[in-house]
Amino acid sequence: MNRSRRLKLQVFRVVVFVVMGAFFLVPIGAMFEFSTRGVGVGAPRTLVSWTTIATYPDLVAAIVASLELAAITSVAMLFLLLPTMIWVRLRVPRLNRVVESLCLLPLTIPAIVLVVGLLPVYRWMSDNFSNSILTLAFAYVILVLPYTYRALDAGLSAINVKTLSEAARSLGAGWGTVIFRVIAPNMSGAILNACLLSVALVLGEFTFANILSYVNVQVAINQLGQANAGVSIAVSVASLLFAFILLMVLSFVGAARRSLRSKPRASDPRLEAVWGQKA
Protein backbone atom coordinates (compact mmCIF):
# COMPACT_ATOMS: atom_id res chain seq x y z
CA MET A 1 0.00 0.00 0.00
CA ASN A 2 1.52 3.33 -0.94
CA ARG A 3 1.94 6.14 1.52
CA SER A 4 -0.69 8.62 0.32
CA ARG A 5 -3.37 5.93 0.28
CA ARG A 6 -2.46 4.79 3.76
CA LEU A 7 -2.67 8.36 4.99
CA LYS A 8 -6.07 8.81 3.38
CA LEU A 9 -7.30 5.61 4.98
CA GLN A 10 -6.08 6.73 8.39
CA VAL A 11 -7.82 10.10 8.04
CA PHE A 12 -11.01 8.33 6.96
CA ARG A 13 -10.87 5.97 9.96
CA VAL A 14 -10.26 8.74 12.47
CA VAL A 15 -13.12 10.82 11.06
CA VAL A 16 -15.51 7.86 11.12
CA PHE A 17 -14.58 6.85 14.66
CA VAL A 18 -14.91 10.41 15.98
CA VAL A 19 -18.27 11.01 14.30
CA MET A 20 -19.71 7.65 15.32
CA GLY A 21 -18.32 7.94 18.83
CA ALA A 22 -20.02 11.31 19.21
CA PHE A 23 -23.30 10.02 17.78
CA PHE A 24 -23.42 7.11 20.21
CA LEU A 25 -21.97 8.74 23.31
CA VAL A 26 -23.61 12.17 23.26
CA PRO A 27 -27.20 10.95 23.85
CA ILE A 28 -26.08 8.90 26.85
CA GLY A 29 -24.10 11.84 28.22
CA ALA A 30 -27.07 14.09 27.58
CA MET A 31 -29.26 11.82 29.73
CA PHE A 32 -26.82 12.18 32.62
CA GLU A 33 -26.73 15.91 32.07
CA PHE A 34 -30.52 16.13 31.94
CA SER A 35 -31.04 14.03 35.07
CA THR A 36 -28.73 16.25 37.14
CA ARG A 37 -30.27 19.57 36.12
CA GLY A 38 -31.57 21.90 38.77
CA VAL A 39 -34.95 23.58 38.50
CA GLY A 40 -34.86 26.89 36.63
CA VAL A 41 -32.26 28.60 34.50
CA GLY A 42 -28.77 28.72 35.97
CA ALA A 43 -29.64 26.47 38.90
CA PRO A 44 -26.70 24.40 40.16
CA ARG A 45 -26.31 20.71 39.37
CA THR A 46 -28.30 18.50 41.68
CA LEU A 47 -29.02 14.85 42.28
CA VAL A 48 -32.62 15.53 43.32
CA SER A 49 -34.01 13.55 40.40
CA TRP A 50 -32.01 10.55 41.54
CA THR A 51 -32.81 10.78 45.22
CA THR A 52 -36.55 11.24 44.68
CA ILE A 53 -36.90 7.99 42.71
CA ALA A 54 -37.88 6.21 45.91
CA THR A 55 -40.67 8.71 46.64
CA TYR A 56 -42.75 7.50 43.69
CA PRO A 57 -44.51 4.38 45.01
CA ASP A 58 -45.89 3.44 41.56
CA LEU A 59 -42.43 3.62 40.09
CA VAL A 60 -40.90 1.53 42.87
CA ALA A 61 -43.69 -1.05 42.49
CA ALA A 62 -43.02 -1.19 38.75
CA ILE A 63 -39.27 -1.64 39.29
CA VAL A 64 -39.93 -4.47 41.75
CA ALA A 65 -42.42 -6.09 39.36
CA SER A 66 -39.92 -5.92 36.50
CA LEU A 67 -37.18 -7.49 38.63
CA GLU A 68 -39.56 -10.27 39.70
CA LEU A 69 -40.57 -10.81 36.08
CA ALA A 70 -36.92 -11.00 35.08
CA ALA A 71 -36.24 -13.67 37.70
CA ILE A 72 -39.37 -15.71 36.92
CA THR A 73 -38.75 -15.52 33.17
CA SER A 74 -35.16 -16.70 33.53
CA VAL A 75 -36.08 -19.67 35.70
CA ALA A 76 -39.14 -20.65 33.66
CA MET A 77 -37.17 -20.36 30.43
CA LEU A 78 -34.46 -22.64 31.78
CA PHE A 79 -36.86 -25.29 33.03
CA LEU A 80 -38.82 -25.24 29.79
CA LEU A 81 -36.04 -24.98 27.25
CA LEU A 82 -33.01 -26.78 28.66
CA PRO A 83 -34.62 -30.22 29.27
CA THR A 84 -36.33 -29.98 25.88
CA MET A 85 -33.11 -29.18 24.06
CA ILE A 86 -31.19 -31.94 25.79
CA TRP A 87 -33.98 -34.43 25.22
CA VAL A 88 -34.26 -33.53 21.54
CA ARG A 89 -30.53 -33.91 21.04
CA LEU A 90 -30.44 -37.31 22.70
CA ARG A 91 -33.69 -38.98 21.80
CA VAL A 92 -35.53 -37.23 18.97
CA PRO A 93 -32.95 -35.50 16.77
CA ARG A 94 -35.43 -35.23 13.92
CA LEU A 95 -37.42 -32.72 15.99
CA ASN A 96 -34.35 -30.51 16.25
CA ARG A 97 -35.37 -28.37 13.30
CA VAL A 98 -38.91 -28.00 14.63
CA VAL A 99 -37.74 -26.82 18.04
CA GLU A 100 -35.16 -24.51 16.49
CA SER A 101 -37.60 -22.85 14.12
CA LEU A 102 -40.19 -22.46 16.88
CA CYS A 103 -37.56 -20.78 19.05
CA LEU A 104 -36.45 -18.44 16.27
CA LEU A 105 -39.99 -17.57 15.17
CA PRO A 106 -40.43 -14.63 17.60
CA LEU A 107 -37.67 -12.83 15.70
CA THR A 108 -39.71 -12.83 12.50
CA ILE A 109 -43.06 -11.96 14.05
CA PRO A 110 -43.00 -8.34 15.23
CA ALA A 111 -43.76 -8.01 18.95
CA ILE A 112 -46.67 -5.68 18.21
CA VAL A 113 -48.24 -8.38 16.00
CA LEU A 114 -47.73 -11.11 18.57
CA VAL A 115 -49.35 -9.01 21.26
CA VAL A 116 -52.46 -8.52 19.10
CA GLY A 117 -52.93 -12.28 19.27
CA LEU A 118 -51.91 -12.48 22.92
CA LEU A 119 -54.57 -9.98 23.97
CA PRO A 120 -57.48 -12.47 23.84
CA VAL A 121 -55.31 -15.11 25.54
CA TYR A 122 -54.52 -12.71 28.37
CA ARG A 123 -58.13 -11.59 28.62
CA TRP A 124 -59.13 -15.23 29.10
CA MET A 125 -56.32 -15.76 31.63
CA SER A 126 -57.27 -12.75 33.72
CA ASP A 127 -60.91 -13.91 33.83
CA ASN A 128 -60.17 -17.51 34.73
CA PHE A 129 -56.78 -17.57 36.34
CA SER A 130 -55.08 -14.41 37.51
CA ASN A 131 -54.62 -10.84 36.37
CA SER A 132 -51.35 -10.31 38.22
CA ILE A 133 -48.60 -8.51 36.34
CA LEU A 134 -46.48 -11.60 36.92
CA THR A 135 -48.51 -13.46 34.28
CA LEU A 136 -46.54 -11.39 31.78
CA ALA A 137 -43.75 -13.89 32.37
CA PHE A 138 -45.65 -16.37 30.16
CA ALA A 139 -45.27 -14.06 27.19
CA TYR A 140 -41.74 -13.02 28.13
CA VAL A 141 -40.53 -16.61 27.96
CA ILE A 142 -41.58 -16.58 24.29
CA LEU A 143 -39.92 -13.21 23.80
CA VAL A 144 -36.54 -14.40 25.07
CA LEU A 145 -36.63 -17.81 23.33
CA PRO A 146 -34.58 -16.88 20.23
CA TYR A 147 -31.76 -15.41 22.27
CA THR A 148 -31.66 -18.03 25.00
CA TYR A 149 -31.98 -20.87 22.49
CA ARG A 150 -28.89 -19.60 20.78
CA ALA A 151 -26.98 -19.29 24.07
CA LEU A 152 -27.94 -22.75 25.29
CA ASP A 153 -27.31 -24.30 21.87
CA ALA A 154 -23.77 -22.93 21.92
CA GLY A 155 -23.27 -24.43 25.39
CA LEU A 156 -24.65 -27.83 24.41
CA SER A 157 -22.52 -27.95 21.26
CA ALA A 158 -19.40 -27.38 23.32
CA ILE A 159 -19.85 -30.46 25.50
CA ASN A 160 -20.35 -34.08 24.58
CA VAL A 161 -23.95 -34.49 25.66
CA LYS A 162 -24.31 -38.04 24.41
CA THR A 163 -21.28 -39.44 26.23
CA LEU A 164 -22.15 -37.65 29.45
CA SER A 165 -25.72 -38.90 29.42
CA GLU A 166 -24.79 -42.47 28.50
CA ALA A 167 -22.20 -42.57 31.25
CA ALA A 168 -24.72 -41.29 33.77
CA ARG A 169 -27.47 -43.60 32.55
CA SER A 170 -25.22 -46.64 32.69
CA LEU A 171 -24.49 -45.80 36.31
CA GLY A 172 -28.22 -45.84 36.99
CA ALA A 173 -29.11 -42.16 36.82
CA GLY A 174 -32.64 -41.16 35.85
CA TRP A 175 -33.31 -38.54 33.21
CA GLY A 176 -33.81 -35.82 35.83
CA THR A 177 -30.38 -36.52 37.28
CA VAL A 178 -28.84 -36.59 33.81
CA ILE A 179 -30.25 -33.20 32.88
CA PHE A 180 -29.93 -31.28 36.13
CA ARG A 181 -26.97 -32.89 37.85
CA VAL A 182 -24.78 -34.04 34.98
CA ILE A 183 -25.30 -31.91 31.88
CA ALA A 184 -26.41 -28.57 33.35
CA PRO A 185 -23.37 -28.15 35.64
CA ASN A 186 -21.13 -28.76 32.62
CA MET A 187 -22.58 -25.80 30.75
CA SER A 188 -22.93 -23.29 33.55
CA GLY A 189 -21.42 -20.54 31.41
CA ALA A 190 -24.07 -20.91 28.73
CA ILE A 191 -26.81 -21.05 31.34
CA LEU A 192 -25.51 -17.85 32.90
CA ASN A 193 -25.47 -16.20 29.48
CA ALA A 194 -29.04 -17.24 28.78
CA CYS A 195 -30.19 -15.89 32.15
CA LEU A 196 -28.38 -12.56 31.74
CA LEU A 197 -29.91 -12.15 28.30
CA SER A 198 -33.37 -12.87 29.66
CA VAL A 199 -32.92 -10.36 32.46
CA ALA A 200 -31.70 -7.65 30.07
CA LEU A 201 -34.54 -8.24 27.63
CA VAL A 202 -37.26 -8.36 30.28
CA LEU A 203 -36.05 -5.19 31.98
CA GLY A 204 -36.17 -3.36 28.65
CA GLU A 205 -39.54 -4.70 27.56
CA PHE A 206 -42.25 -2.17 26.76
CA THR A 207 -44.52 -3.42 23.95
CA PHE A 208 -46.19 -6.40 25.66
CA ALA A 209 -46.70 -4.66 28.98
CA ASN A 210 -48.05 -1.48 27.43
CA ILE A 211 -50.59 -3.18 25.16
CA LEU A 212 -51.66 -5.71 27.79
CA SER A 213 -52.11 -2.79 30.26
CA TYR A 214 -49.57 -3.84 32.86
CA VAL A 215 -47.20 -1.32 34.40
CA ASN A 216 -43.65 -2.63 34.26
CA VAL A 217 -40.62 -0.42 34.68
CA GLN A 218 -40.54 0.81 31.08
CA VAL A 219 -44.25 1.66 31.06
CA ALA A 220 -43.84 3.47 34.39
CA ILE A 221 -40.90 5.47 33.05
CA ASN A 222 -42.93 6.41 30.02
CA GLN A 223 -45.92 7.54 32.10
CA LEU A 224 -43.72 9.48 34.50
CA GLY A 225 -41.93 11.12 31.60
CA GLN A 226 -44.94 13.35 31.03
CA ALA A 227 -45.05 14.53 34.66
CA ASN A 228 -41.43 14.59 35.77
CA ALA A 229 -38.92 14.18 32.97
CA GLY A 230 -35.92 14.44 35.30
CA VAL A 231 -36.84 11.47 37.49
CA SER A 232 -37.92 9.29 34.58
CA ILE A 233 -34.68 10.01 32.76
CA ALA A 234 -32.75 9.22 35.94
CA VAL A 235 -34.46 5.81 36.11
CA SER A 236 -33.79 5.34 32.39
CA VAL A 237 -30.10 5.97 32.93
CA ALA A 238 -30.05 3.53 35.85
CA SER A 239 -31.83 0.78 33.91
CA LEU A 240 -29.63 1.46 30.92
CA LEU A 241 -26.43 1.18 32.93
CA PHE A 242 -27.68 -2.04 34.48
CA ALA A 243 -28.49 -3.55 31.08
CA PHE A 244 -25.23 -2.27 29.56
CA ILE A 245 -23.19 -3.88 32.30
CA LEU A 246 -25.05 -7.17 31.95
CA LEU A 247 -24.69 -7.26 28.18
CA MET A 248 -21.10 -6.07 28.12
CA VAL A 249 -20.11 -8.79 30.58
CA LEU A 250 -21.92 -11.28 28.43
CA SER A 251 -20.42 -10.03 25.22
CA PHE A 252 -16.89 -10.37 26.56
CA VAL A 253 -17.59 -13.76 28.11
CA GLY A 254 -19.11 -14.83 24.80
CA ALA A 255 -16.11 -13.62 22.82
CA ALA A 256 -13.64 -15.44 25.07
CA ARG A 257 -15.69 -18.63 24.95
CA ARG A 258 -16.11 -18.50 21.21
CA SER A 259 -12.43 -18.12 20.50
CA LEU A 260 -11.77 -21.28 22.51
CA ARG A 261 -14.07 -23.60 20.62
CA SER A 262 -15.93 -22.19 17.72
CA LYS A 263 -18.15 -24.07 15.38
CA PRO A 264 -19.76 -22.45 12.37
CA ARG A 265 -23.51 -22.58 12.30
CA ALA A 266 -26.25 -21.06 10.22
CA SER A 267 -28.20 -18.51 12.16
CA ASP A 268 -30.29 -15.43 12.00
CA PRO A 269 -27.86 -12.52 12.07
CA ARG A 270 -30.09 -10.56 14.39
CA LEU A 271 -28.86 -13.03 16.98
CA GLU A 272 -25.36 -11.88 16.20
CA ALA A 273 -26.54 -8.56 17.52
CA VAL A 274 -26.37 -10.11 20.93
CA TRP A 275 -23.32 -12.17 20.32
CA GLY A 276 -21.10 -9.33 19.25
CA GLN A 277 -20.04 -10.78 15.94
CA LYS A 278 -20.61 -13.63 13.60
CA ALA A 279 -19.63 -16.94 15.16
Partner 1 sequence: MTATGNPAIESARRPREGGRRLPLHWVGVAPFLAYAGLFLLLPTGIVVAGAFTGNGGLTLSNFSTLNQQYLIKAFISSIGLSAVSAVVGAALGALFAYAVATGNPRGVLRRIVSSACGVLAQFGGVTLAFAFIATIGGAGFITLWLQSHGIDPYAKGVWLYEVPGLVLVYAYFQIPLMVLVFLPALDGIRPQWREATESLGGSTWHYWRYVAGPLLLPAFLGATLLLFANAFSAYATAAALISQGDPIVPIAIANLLNSEIGIAEPGLAKALALGMIVIVAVVMTLYAVLQQRTARWLR
Binding mask 92-131 for partner 1 (x = CB under 8 A): x--x---x--x--xx-xxxxxxxxxxxxxx----------
Dist CA 175 CA 242 (whole Å): 37
Binding flag, residue 133, partner 1 (CB under 8 A): no
Query: Got the DSSP string for 120-186?
Result: HHHHHHHHHT---GGGHHHHHHHHHHHHHHHHHHHHHHHS-HHHHHHHHHHTT--HHHIIIIIIHHH
Q: How far is the CB of 183 from partner 1 (least distance, A)?
A: 14
- Length of the chain equals 279
Q: Which of residues 16-55 bind partner 1 (CB under 8 A)?
A: 16-17, 20, 23-24, 26-31, 33-35
Of residues 194-253, those binding partner 1 (CB under 8 A) = 200-201, 204-207, 210-211, 218, 221-222, 225, 229, 232-233, 236, 239-240, 243-244, 247-248, 251-252
Nearest CB to partner 1, comparing residues 58 and 272 = 272
Establish how many alpha carbons lie within 13 A of residue 136's alpha carbon, considering only the half-sphere containing its beta carbon.
26
Contacting residue, 3, 4, 5, 45, with partner 1 by CB under 8 A:
5
Sorted by sequence, the CB contacts under 8 Å of residue 151 that are 6+ apart come out as 190, 193, 194, 197
In this chain, which stretch among 56-64, 67-75, 158-166, 264-272 interacts with partner 1, using CB under 8 A?
Answer: 264-272
Cα–Cα distance, 119 to 129 (Å, whole number): 15
DSSP state of 94: G
Q: Quick one: 5 or 263, whose CB is closer to partner 1?
A: 5
Report in angstroms how near the CB of residue 68 gets to partner 1 at its nearest.
19
